[in-house]
């Protein structure tokens, strides 16, 4: 029995098991407990494209990684310190990621010859030396779980065994000193209507916890103290939920009912699932017949004076392109959210990538420029959504908001803003004539924006449409000079927006010659890599673009003021192209297209190669 | 004062004081001389004031095609969208704004070719929109290719050896999609068209109206068997509660056939009592479907009028009511509360 | 030798020597345990050799969805396309290659939501493809949103307060689009399913088959009233030329109602002679439509079997024949000649 | 009476009248006659978006311009030397374009008060000095036509008047010494079944001709001798027809049946209309229910071993994007033709623009690179179509071929190639195993292309699909490293294609410091402007890109070897962006978005500003 514990600043744990093993649930609960301890944290769920991929095979493994620390952290971490593998397939799929000498916890019971075969092992890795460089604990989790639950009335053996994930959670909770109370009350609430299942889950959890505590396992418990976060109220949030909250905030702030029309697609559907519940805020969600219908419905609602929003992932963006171009010519507010996933085509639908940037900017016929912004962190999705709505409403334009699979699924603590502090969004509807006693629907204001006159407003009847419109009057016009003028005026809306944007902020060390410039979800890893570089005493500069089109006015000056510019992206170099084109700077890409985030060590390495 | 500077003395919408002029945008009409679209436009502009809905509460939505230009000529709110998507645009507007009267104007290519899916989905949902299908059995705006309602074998620019496609029966398709209101009328039959559109306007939910429209440039005379001079005897005019009789002397009628459909007979052969009495309000769409199948093409006796007019829940209406109320009452405080619901902690 | 290294001794396709194994790709199936898709796959793989078409002459096309994975498990030529577009892909293949047997496998979301337009157009054209709709009344692959066949009020991830949409009746929609072959069967009814698919295969032109498929993860039990143990008495089994009787003791039957539709009665109440005799070959789709309307949802007595099976010209077939011949005979010289036809001059 | 005539090297004539006035027919016939004379020529039809736009209004005017010369010419010309205006609206819409002191021919009869009002004239321009700087001939064409046809039996007065376009044609034919015989026989054939109409047209034509000849008009006939073209057989051809012929040639050369599926859209429909007639070559045309269906049908046909081709214009390209991305992953041959028109959205559907270039390259989600090529001249559409098909088939990839409204409608003499001289296109179908006794559908050849095994081939059954595929085996693979590899291999296909491309040819004068780099339909005007610059004794270099993605390998060297690079485009700078991004060259754009081609004088001016 040991009561001493080891203090660590930062820890990475990964749970891996069959899709049916409940790894995501375990991860979620561990995250909740970790948040309660006051750690900073970041998570990364990772699951297969199938609903229930074949049991026992590496393709069917579902995993969840959490990085938590007593200081602030920026990514879900590179290599787990501890890996929980519920079966041979999980071991096969994830052992490579475990840090050298790391802790490995396996469910020994699952290492049967049949399971080994399904996982593709010829010999038992627990016996043939495969795991000998790790601190391995072989725990008969199935047996222990069965034993812990065998006197529960009305529980079937299969049900009993299914709670072994809670055993693992209990054990890991003990190992990292996470309190069990919250988990237990959550289980009690969740399974309130199924007493036997509830009891079994609680018993399995406790058994796992006690298994550690009673020193049946020779591991030292680890303590990770609270992180010195800014004072405030916190919750844990993932990108999908943060985006939903941001849209709600924009709706309440603007007084515009949120009209969210979409067609299900992984991973964007999560946003629909979140918003559909918020009828209390008057959110109108519509599951349309397809993506084209969805964006048209949202645009129709915008014409009707609502906050029209649609969301999708890659393939759905292709389909919405024609209507986005229509919205661009109608100059109506519209928010289009693209939760990027790994492509092209159907690709790897549950994996992450940042490869829709150039499509967002150029993916429509004709000259059809519009604002493109990108969220950078899970909780930052809130601000990005508010910002997208604000630009759309104030500048009367469709806005594309880029998110991605990683941001959507990953979670982190979020210091809750107060809604009062958010800037107002004034829809500023047209209510009367704007040119003597005439109403000119394409008369522009100082932002280049035209009036938003909604049906029901007497006397402002007008007709919009995709044929080129005459400046001012908005009548159909085939006049060559007018087309040139309107093309210019539409482009100028972006220039005027750029003038309103805050400058690109550079976090530069004295003497830094290399700028690492990012956008979107690489924000965390760029920060983490910079920290490592700085830890080595080397100077570096980093900057992150939220506005990709238009970019802040100082972007050119920033990139030109460094000897080297490195642009890490989960694509083959899309921001890279933009920077080269716009600023004629010979920037260098660090590109990864594996469906997974860049690791801090990978980026550190890339940086070192450039500055050494 | 609307965009065109046209003066709306009656723009405040008090019903009864509205006139046809209140619905005329004054924008130059750009259809070919003689096009059936003119007649429809005139009838619609004349009907609107009678409905008592002021122009600012009326919205016309269209896709692309000759028919689609319709919206520019109505001094209502309007949107000329993209090809085939008008029902989806209109669904957005009608769902978001239940206080508006929303109309869709579309061609046979726009509605039935590229836009077929949005059409059938808006009909099954019973979205409160009025869908006017200007069926001229041809692509007008793109200069004369065949359409999904063109007869098989049609020779057009795109089918110099005759088209191979079997055409849709638009009403049968709409009924297959559970449309709650289905009707047919003819561009130049002003009285009939007005009556049908009035019923469509009164119907709660989607109303689908096929209008035979002559394209005198690319498909002249497609509806001659039922349209204009001499067409009358082939019109089987549907009147709810009336026997299905027609012909110059009302000498012909419609009876149920042995195999479950309907067929045309001489009344003299079967006796007046055998003639089916039209009922537009039957829940089961089988009768309306059989009527639609009586003439797959307007080359002989062809029913016009309201085939089906039944009540079923209107998409969105009830919920949007609640939501609007919720939205009006939602405060920033509620949002603060929502953010803070569930697991939170304080540092 | 196919991609998976599976040995096809009978790959040369002599009918009769083919076995089920010739149609199994050996790729690991990735549906949830218990999914109705397994039963359909097994039945299809067993039927294929009986049709006598060798695997290399068979093409399976799908869109996206759980159902769409079907193609990977068939050792035929196959394409897993994009969401909703399988009928269009298949139209391309079937029109270009009339020598192939082309099958489409699709879910209710894939076929009826995003893909509705391609579905109805391929049916009206009568493209020679077999369309299998795996209807589980839910979106499986995207993890449980309601679909266009889900019942109104359905509570799902996307509709926590119940869906507002009125669902399609897929067969009525197909008939509205003039489908020449329309049938319904059930995943686990191996004999019935096989028989229906065999008739679909034999039909010249489009064959549309709705298969009630249980999604035990997101919509378990949706078809319990007609499926599996105890479902039998609710199955109205359609047999051409047979009276429409059903029930545990054949005690119930179907008669024509006064308003033009069909209705279920106790045979004892009306007498056996009053029961409608099923005729799948009636040209007018009214009877088949009334049958489809007999049960808008599979919650009570529900017809299964072949509703309609009529002959009409098959899209593309005749012309492609001529064209292939022309293509085979066209020479470079012909092209030189074509270029030089009309106004030319020599410098 | 005068029999002397003036010799000119080059002439530009524009016919303008109501949409119903038959100006396109007159233009076509004049072009045919001009071709017979042996001139080089170039034409530009220009018509409204409406079928029959409102008669008598400037919006309803239809025009046709022809440029012909006794030397080779490159564009339809900037300013007409002679303008024929059939009514006041035509005068209003086109007078500005007429060269200073040019010849103006008006139908005096049409200048009625009603017509003047419809055209927006307050006073009669023939009387108020508006036309006094031109050599104006007021001819009562309606009256003369009526008089010439009044004894034709069975002819209605309206029919008689409708032939006044032939009167105008006759007069202009006389003026420029075009023989009347061909026109008369054409009329006789065309109206063979309507004798009265035939007679009337012929009579009107002769009347116009004789009107000039009998010196009722004080103009000097002008002689433009034959151009010294290369020896060979010629015909006149526009871009639509040339594209159709190119596709037919690719079909016959490859032995692949042409499967052309499309959905009508202006101006791409013309291609369908042409191809639909060629059943003699076994062309299968399908008018699909929409653009998405069309591209899927073409792709399905490709899978079936046909030459799958689809064509559309801007809005249709948006819709095809998702399927093009699928084709890119399937690695099947597919030709996608985009006849660009003025956008965005519905825009100006009958006008020209080059604004779909960046969409062609980037307009799909995910990393989805594919070859993009552009036709440069009307007759050049033939070669471009053959080339697109060749790349698609040999490299197993979708190819986007960019054309535009101008190329489609414009015509020029074309020296007919002999089909024998065209390079072979070998579909090289897979017929057996390619890896021992296995068939691996994603095993690549030296071009990076995979085998094309078509249904019906025993033993080669395989499944394609949009999910990421394992290198070699083509099985579904979610492996991160495999996705990275496949992304790289797909991109490398373009690099390998680039190695096969002929180098970019530069036509440079000694000492030239400015390179004018173009793509697509600006080819003619760039050549014409360069000729003017050279005419001034100034040095210049020009080059034209047919392959936009990938570009020829020497492109970077070429653009870097000049002090200045000017890129004229009918967009806001799309090739400009590509050149800046790829080569970090500070190129300069000359951009026009008016729905009309760039004029030689405009470009000349832009060049002069840069080199002076
Ligand atoms: C996406 C897209 N595809 C094609 C077109 C070209 N287009 C415009 S209208 C039309 C069809 C016109 O026919 P119809 O809908 O019957 O209307 P009509 O002109 O006969 O009134 C087509 C194909 C387009 N504008 N957009
Ligand atoms: C363009 C596009 N939109 C959305 C999706 C996401 N998606 C994949 S399958 C599917 C629907 C699945 O339901 P269904 O067709 O009924 O098939 P099932 O999984 O139930 O067999 C959806 C929405 C996609 N892949 N592509
Ligand atoms: S083309 Fe036909 S439908 Fe279009 S405006 Fe002319 S007559 Fe009317
Ligand atoms: S989710 Fe449903 S349909 Fe999909 S594989 Fe699982 S059980 Fe079958
Ligand atoms: Mg039409
Ligand atoms: Mg489904």
The CA radius of gyration of chain D, in Å to the nearest whole number, is 27
Q: What one-character DSSP code corresponds to residue D597?
A: P
Does C285 lie in the same domain as C223? yes
> What distance in angstroms lies between residue D264's CA and the mean position of ligand 1's atoms?
7
| Whether residue C12 has pLDDT greater than 50 | no
A218: confidence class by pLDDT, cuts 50, 70, 90: low
Task: Considering only residues D2 and B345, tell me which one the structure prediction assigns the higher pLDDT.
Answer: B345
**pLDDT over 90 for what percent of chain A?**
90
Here the tokens at position A601 are 């060590």
* Cα D387 to Cα D359, D418, D500, D547, distances in angstroms: 21, 16, 12, 10
Interface test with B, best of D52, D62, D291 (most B CBs within 10 A): D52
Residue boundaries of the structural domains of chain D: 6-223, 235-421, 506-611
Does B248 lie in the same domain as B110? no
Does B141 lie in the same domain as B26? yes
C140 CB within 6 A, ligand 4: yes
Does C233 lie in the same domain as C247? no
Instruction: List pLDDT tens digits, range D530-566.
Output: 999 999 999 999 999 999 999 999 999 999 999 999 9
Nearest protein CA to atom 6 of ligand 4, as residue = C32
In this prediction, residue D49 carries a pLDDT of 76
Looking at all shown ligands, the one closest to residue A315's CA atom is 2
C-alpha distance from B164 to closest chain C C-alpha (Å)? 7
Residue bearing tokens 């989607």: B206
CB contacts of A273 in chain C (<8 Å) are: 157-158
Q: Closest-CA residue in chain A for D59? A: A478
Choosing among 3.40.50.1820, 3.40.50.970, 3.30.70.20, 3.90.10.10, the CATH entry for A235-421 is 3.40.50.970
Does B117 lie in the same domain as B263? no
Residue D41: half-sphere exposure toward Cβ, Cα within 13 Å = 31
In sequence order, which residues have a C-beta less than 8 Å from that of residue C9 and are 6 or more positions away? none
Instruction: Give the structural domain span for B166.
Output: 20-241+279-339
Which of B230, B252, B277 delimits the end of a domain? B277
A59: confidence class by pLDDT, cuts 50, 70, 90: confident
CB contacts of B287 in chain C (<8 Å) are: 259-261
Does B268 lie in the same domain as B145? no
CB contacts of C217 in chain A (<8 Å) are: 51-52
Bond into A456 cis (ω within 30): no
C-alpha distance from A51 to closest chain C C-alpha (Å)? 6
Q: Smallest Cβ distance to C125: which of B115, B124, B165? A: B165
C37 CB within 6 A, ligand 4: yes
C-alpha distance from D232 to closest chain C C-alpha (Å)? 5
| Whether residue C61 has pLDDT greater than 90 | yes
A220: confidence class by pLDDT, cuts 50, 70, 90: confident
| Whether residue A55 has pLDDT greater than 90 | no
Provide DSSP, D384-452: HHHHHHHHHHHHTSEEEEEEEHHHHH-EEEEEPPPGGGSPP----B--S-SBTTB--TB---TTSPPPB
pLDDT, mean of residues D503-531? 97
D455 and C75 within 8 Å at the Cβ level: the answer is no
- Please tell me whether residue C237 adopts helix, strand or coil conformation: strand
Residue bearing tokens 């099985």: D475
Whether residue C8 lies inside any domain: the answer is no
Q: Which atom of ligand 4 is closest in space to residue C213's alpha carbon?
A: 3
In this prediction, residue C13 carries a pLDDT of 43
Q: H-type helices in D260-373, by residue range?
A: 269-276, 291-303, 314-330, 357-362
> What distance in angstroms lies between residue B151's CA and the mean position of ligand 3's atoms?
18
Which neighbouring-strand residues pair with D50?
Answer: none
Instruction: List pLDDT tens digits, range A382-400.
Output: 999 999 999 999 999 999 9
Q: In which region does residue D587 sit, left (phi positive, over 0), alpha (psi from -120 to 50) or beta (all else)?
A: beta
Alpha-carbon gap, residue A528 to B185, rounded angstroms:
70
In this prediction, residue C7 carries a pLDDT of 38
Alpha-carbon gap, residue A569 to A559, rounded angstroms:
16
Residue bearing tokens 């070998």: D426
Touching partners of C (3+ C-beta pairs < 8 Å): A, B, D
**pLDDT over 70 for what percent of chain B?**
95
Q: Render the burial of A27-60: b for 16+ CB within 10 Å, e for the rest.
A: bbbbbbbbbbbbbbbbbbbbbbbbbbbbbbbbbb
In this prediction, residue A307 carries a pLDDT of 98
B91: confidence class by pLDDT, cuts 50, 70, 90: very high
Provide DSSP, B5-59: ----TTTT--TTS--GGGGB--PPP-SPTT-HHHHHHHHHHHHHHHHT--GGGEE
Residue bearing tokens 């009358």: B232
Alpha-carbon gap, residue A199 to B270, rounded angstroms:
77
The reply to whether A6-223 and A506-611 are identical in fold is: no
C92 and D297 within 8 Å at the Cβ level: the answer is yes
Residue to probe by mutation, ligand 1, list B83, B147, B149, most atoms within 8 Å of CB:
B83
Alpha-carbon gap, residue A408 to A89, rounded angstroms:
26
D363 and A362 within 8 Å at the Cβ level: the answer is yes
Alpha-carbon gap, residue D218 to D228, rounded angstroms:
31
A3: confidence class by pLDDT, cuts 50, 70, 90: low
B7: confidence class by pLDDT, cuts 50, 70, 90: very low
Provide DSSP, C42-111: HHHHHHHHHHT--GGGEEEEE-SSTGGGGGGGBSSEEEE--TT-HHHHHHHHHHH-TTSEEEEEEEHHII
Instruction: List pLDDT tens digits, range B274-301.
Output: 999 999 999 999 999 999 999 999 999 9
Does B306 lie in the same domain as B258? no
Does B76 lie in the same domain as B62? yes
Domain of C206, CATH number, reads: 3.40.50.970
Interface test with D, best of B114, B156, B217 (most D CBs within 10 A): B114
Which neighbouring-strand residues pair with D61?
Answer: D18
Q: Smallest Cβ distance to C315: which of B164, B178, B256? A: B164
pLDDT, mean of residues D274-291? 97
Chain Cα centroid distance, residue D301: 27
Residue C120 sits at the chain B interface (C-beta within 8 Å):
yes
Does B198 lie in the same domain as B157? yes
Average pLDDT, chain D: 95
In this prediction, residue C4 carries a pLDDT of 39
B80 and A465 within 8 Å at the Cβ level: the answer is yes
> What distance in angstroms lies between residue C28's CA and the mean position of ligand 4's atoms?
15
D182: confidence class by pLDDT, cuts 50, 70, 90: confident
Comparing A456-470, B127-141, D153-167, the range with the smallest average pLDDT is: D153-167
Residue C37: which of C55, C18, C59, C62 has the closest Cα?
A: C62
Q: Render the burial of B188-217: b for 16+ CB within 10 Å, e for the rest.
A: bbbebbbbbbebbbebebbbbbbbbbbbbb
| ipTM summary value | 0.95
C136 CB within 6 A, ligand 4: yes
Which neighbouring-strand residues pair with A138?
Answer: A106
Q: Smallest Cβ distance to D475: which of C27, C75, C335? A: C27
Helix (H) or strand (E) holding C125: helix C116-125
Q: H-type helices in A312-378, by residue range?
A: 314-330, 357-362
Residue to probe by mutation, ligand 3, list B33, B36, B66, most atoms within 8 Å of CB:
B66
Whether residue C237 lies inside any domain: the answer is yes
pLDDT, mean of residues C12-36? 83
| Whether residue D76 has pLDDT greater than 70 | yes
| Whether residue B97 has pLDDT greater than 60 | yes
Instruction: List pLDDT tens digits, range C150-203.
Output: 999 999 999 999 999 999 999 999 999 999 999 999 999 999 999 999 999 999
In sequence order, which residues have a C-beta less than 8 Å from that of residue B155 and are 6 or more positions away? B161, B162, B163
C-alpha distance from B73 to closest chain C C-alpha (Å)? 30
B158 and D287 within 8 Å at the Cβ level: the answer is yes
pLDDT, mean of residues D279-292? 97
C340: confidence class by pLDDT, cuts 50, 70, 90: very high
Whether residue B10 lies inside any domain: the answer is no
Task: Considering only residues C155 and C230, tell me which one the structure prediction assigns the higher pLDDT.
Answer: C155
B160 and D55 within 8 Å at the Cβ level: the answer is no
Does B256 lie in the same domain as B161? no
| Whether residue C15 has pLDDT greater than 60 | no
Helix (H) or strand (E) holding A488: helix A480-500
Instruction: List pLDDT tens digits, range B202-239.
Output: 999 999 999 999 999 999 999 999 998 889 999 999 99
Whether residue C200 lies inside any domain: the answer is yes
C-alpha distance from B66 to closest chain D C-alpha (Å)? 8
A216: confidence class by pLDDT, cuts 50, 70, 90: low
CB within 8 Å of chain C, chain B residues 140-179: 148, 152, 161, 164-169, 172-178
Residue B59 sits at the chain C interface (C-beta within 8 Å):
no
In this prediction, residue A19 carries a pLDDT of 85
C318: confidence class by pLDDT, cuts 50, 70, 90: confident
Instruction: Give the CATH H-level superfamily of domain A6-223.
Output: Pyruvate-ferredoxin oxidoreductase, PFOR, domain III (3.40.920.10)
* Cα D470 to Cα A347, A559, C141, D486, distances in angstroms: 11, 39, 22, 8
Q: Smallest Cβ distance to D441: which of C3, C64, C93? A: C3
pLDDT, mean of residues D265-285? 97
Whether residue B212 lies inside any domain: the answer is yes
The CATH number that domain D506-611 falls under is 3.40.50.920
B115 CB within 6 A, ligand 1: no
B287 and C316 within 8 Å at the Cβ level: the answer is no
C139 CB within 6 A, ligand 4: no
Touching partners of B (3+ C-beta pairs < 8 Å): A, C, D
Whether residue C76 lies inside any domain: the answer is yes
pLDDT, mean of residues C95-106? 97
CA angle A409, A410, A413 (to 5 degrees): 130
Q: Which atom of ligand 4 is closest in space to residue C107's alpha carbon?
A: 3
pLDDT, mean of residues A457-481? 96
> What distance in angstroms lies between residue B107's CA and the mean position of ligand 5's atoms?
5
Helix (H) or strand (E) holding A517: strand A514-519
A315 CB within 6 A, ligand 2: yes
Residues at Cβ < 5 Å from ligand 5 ion: B 107-108, 136
A263 CB within 6 A, ligand 2: yes
Alpha-carbon gap, residue D516 to C253, rounded angstroms:
82
Residue C288: which of C216, C188, C210 has the closest Cα?
A: C210
Strands D398-404 and D372-374: parallel
Q: How many domains does chain C have?
A: 2
Burial of B58 (0-12, 13-18, 19+ CB in 10 A): buried
| Whether residue C229 has pLDDT greater than 90 | no
pLDDT, mean of residues D235-243? 96
Interface test with C, best of D33, D300, D412 (most C CBs within 10 A): D300
| Whether residue A371 has pLDDT greater than 90 | yes
In this prediction, residue B5 carries a pLDDT of 36
B189: confidence class by pLDDT, cuts 50, 70, 90: very high
C3: confidence class by pLDDT, cuts 50, 70, 90: very low
Whether residue C289 lies inside any domain: the answer is yes
Interface test with D, best of A97, A367, A476, A590 (most D CBs within 10 A): A367
In sign, the C-alpha dihedral spanning A73, A76, A77, A83 is positive
Average pLDDT, chain B: 94
Q: What one-character DSSP code corresponds to residue B113?
A: I
C37 CB within 6 A, ligand 2: no
Does B192 lie in the same domain as B295? yes
| Whether residue A52 has pLDDT greater than 90 | no
A232 and B346 within 8 Å at the Cβ level: the answer is yes
Whether residue B26 lies inside any domain: the answer is yes
């Amino acid at each position: 029995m040991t009561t001493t514990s080891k203090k660590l600043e930062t820890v990475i744990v990964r749970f891996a098991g069959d899709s049916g093993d409940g790894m995501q649930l375990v991860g979620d609960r561990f995250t909740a407990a970790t948040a309660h301890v006051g750690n900073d944290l970041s998570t990364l769920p990772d699951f297969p494209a199938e609903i229930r991929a074949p049991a026992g095979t590496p393709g069917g493994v579902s995993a969840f990684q959490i990085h938590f620390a007593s200081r602030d952290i920026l990514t879900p971490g590179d290599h787990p310190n501890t890996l929980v593998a519920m079966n041979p397939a999980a071991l096969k799929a994830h052992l490579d990621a475990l840090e050298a000498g790391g802790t490995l916890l396996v469910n020994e019971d699952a290492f049967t010859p049949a399971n080994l075969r399904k996982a593709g092992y010829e010999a038992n890795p627990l016996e043939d030396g495969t795991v000998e460089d790790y601190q391995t604990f072989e725990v008969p989790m199935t047996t222990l779980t069965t034993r812990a639950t065998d006197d529960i009335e009305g529980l079937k053996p299969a049900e009993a065994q299914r709670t072994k994930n809670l055993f693992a959670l209990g054990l890991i909770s003990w190992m990292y000193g996470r309190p069990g109370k919250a988990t237990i009350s959550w289980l009690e609430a969740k399974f309130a209507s199924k007493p036997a299942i509830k009891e079994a889950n609680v018993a399995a959890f406790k058994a796992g916890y006690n298994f550690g505590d009673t020193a049946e396992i020779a591991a030292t418990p680890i303590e990770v103290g609270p992180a010195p976060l800014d004072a405030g109220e916190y919750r844990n949030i993932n990108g999908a939920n943060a985006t939903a909250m941001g849209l709600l905030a924009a709706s309440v702030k603007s007084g515009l009912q949120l009209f969210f029309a979409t067609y299900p697609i992984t991973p964007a559907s999560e946003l629909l699932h979140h918003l559909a519940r918020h009828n209390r805020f008057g959110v109108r969600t519509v599951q349309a017949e397809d993506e084209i219908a969805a964006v048209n419905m949202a645009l129709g609602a915008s014409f009707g004076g609502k906050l029209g929003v649609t969301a999708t992932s890659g393939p759905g963006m292709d389909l919405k392109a024609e209507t986005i171009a229509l919205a661009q010519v109608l100059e109506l507010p519209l928010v289009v959210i693209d939760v990027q996933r790994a492509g092209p085509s159907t690709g790897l639908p549950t994996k992450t990538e940042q490869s829709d940037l150039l499509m967002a900017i150029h993916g429509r016929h004709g000259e059809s420029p519009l604002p493109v912004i990108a969220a950078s962190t899970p909780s930052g999705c809130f601000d990005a959504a508010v910002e997208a709505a604000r630009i759309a409403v104030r500048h009367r334009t469709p806005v594309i908001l880029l998110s991605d699979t990683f941001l959507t699924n990953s979670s982190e603590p979020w210091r809750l803003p107060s809604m009062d502090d958010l800037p107002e969004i004034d829809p500023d509807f047209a209510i009367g004539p704007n040119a003597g006693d005439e109403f000119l629907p394409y008369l522009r204001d100082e932002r280049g924006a035209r009036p938003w006159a909604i049906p029901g407003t007497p006397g402002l009847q007008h007709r919009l449409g995709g044929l080129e419109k005459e400046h001012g009057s908005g009548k159909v016009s085939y006049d060559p000079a007018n087309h040139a003028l309107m093309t210019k005026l539409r482009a100028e809306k972006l220039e005027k927006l750029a003038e309103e944007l805050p400058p690109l902020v550079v976090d530069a060390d004295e003497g830094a010659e290399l700028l690492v410039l990012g956008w979107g979800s690489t924000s965390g890893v760029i920060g983490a890599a910079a920290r490592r570089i700085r830890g080595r005493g080397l100077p570096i500069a980093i900057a992150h673009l939220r506005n990709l089109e238009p970019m802040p006015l100082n972007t050119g000056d920033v990139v030109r003021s460094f000897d080297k510019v490195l642009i890490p992206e989960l694509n083959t170099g899309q921001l890279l192209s933009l920077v080269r084109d716009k600023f004629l700077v010979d920037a260098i890409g660090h590109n990864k297209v594996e469906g997974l985030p860049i690791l801090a060590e990978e980026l550190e390495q890339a940086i070192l190669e450039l500055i050494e | 004062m609307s965009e065109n500077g046209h003066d709306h003395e009656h723009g405040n919408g008090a019903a009864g004081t509205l006139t046809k002029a209140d619905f005329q945008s004054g924008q130059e009409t750009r259809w070919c001389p003689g096009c059936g679209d003119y007649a429809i436009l005139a009838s619609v502009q004349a009907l609107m004031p009678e409905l008592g809905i002021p122009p600012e509460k009326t919205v016309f939505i269209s896709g692309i095609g000759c028919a689609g230009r319709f919206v520019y000529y109505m001094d209502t709110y309007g949107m000329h969208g993209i090809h085939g998507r008008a029902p989806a645009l209109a669904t957005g507007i009608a769902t978001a704004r239940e206080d508006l009267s929303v109309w869709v104007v579309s061609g046979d290519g726009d509605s039935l070719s590229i836009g077929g899916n949005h059409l059938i989905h808006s009909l099954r949902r019973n979205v409160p929109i009025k869908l006017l299908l200007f069926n001229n059995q041809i692509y007008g705006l793109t200069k004369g290719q065949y359409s999904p309602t063109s007869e098989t074998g049609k020779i057009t620019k795109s089918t110099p050896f005759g088209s191979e496609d079997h055409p849709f029966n638009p009403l049968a398709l709409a009924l297959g999609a559970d449309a709650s209101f289905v009707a047919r009328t003819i561009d130049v039959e002003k009285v009939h068209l007005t009556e049908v559109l009035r019923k469509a306007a009164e119907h709660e939910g989607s109303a689908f109206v096929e209008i035979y429209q002559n394209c005198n440039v690319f498909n002249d005379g497609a509806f001659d068997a039922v349209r204009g001079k001499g067409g009358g005897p082939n019109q089987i005019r549907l009147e709810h509660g009336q026997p299905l009789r027609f012909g110059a002397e009302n000498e012909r009628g419609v009876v149920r056939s042995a195999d479950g459909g309907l067929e045309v007979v001489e009344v003299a052969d079967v006796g007046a009592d055998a003639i089916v009495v039209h009922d537009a309000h039957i829940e089961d769409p089988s009768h309306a479907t059989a009527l639609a199948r009586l003439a797959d093409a307007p080359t002989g006796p062809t029913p016009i009028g309201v085939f089906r007019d039944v009540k079923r829940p209107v998409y969105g209406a009830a919920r949007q009511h609640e939501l609007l109320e919720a939205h009006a009452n939602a405060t920033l405080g509620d949002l603060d509360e929502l953010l803070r619901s569930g697991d939170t902690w304080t540092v």
